[in-house]
Amino acid sequence: MQRYGSGFEKILEEYKPYEKEFQPKITSEQSWFTITFMDVAYTNKESLVNSTLQLLKMQNIVYTTILDNPGINKPQICTITGVSDGSAKSN
């Protein structure tokens, strides 16, 4: 950010190609302001997942389970897929 906020326009220009949810968030107080920059490298869009990824059969089962159950944890994955905790650690 340059003096007097002149760099703010440059920042907004860089984020212009991204959807509204990825735009910088601005909050202000009486004597300062805060800009939160969203990390555009990570999105929740399944279309960005590389569909040509080659996985082993069990890896594919676990991968599909995770895609179908956002927020799932490791014990739940093991229960659904039948993968033991030890196998999950090694793969």
How far apart, in Å, are the Cα atoms of 41 and each of 21, 27, 71? 13, 23, 19
Q: Which residues contact 54 (CB under 8 A, 6 or more apart)?
A: none
Task: Name the pTM for this structure.
Answer: 0.37
3-state helix, strand, coil in the chain (%, to 5): 45, 10, 45
- What does the pLDDT read at residue 70? 84
pLDDT in tens, 55-89: 677 777 888 888 888 888 888 888 888 877 766 56
Q: How many CB atoms lie within 10 A of CB 62?
A: 20
Amino acid 1: pLDDT: 47
Contact 83, 58 (CB under 8 A): yes
Tens-place pLDDT, residues 1-43: 445 666 777 878 888 888 888 888 888 888 777 888 887 776 5
The pLDDT of residue 52: 53
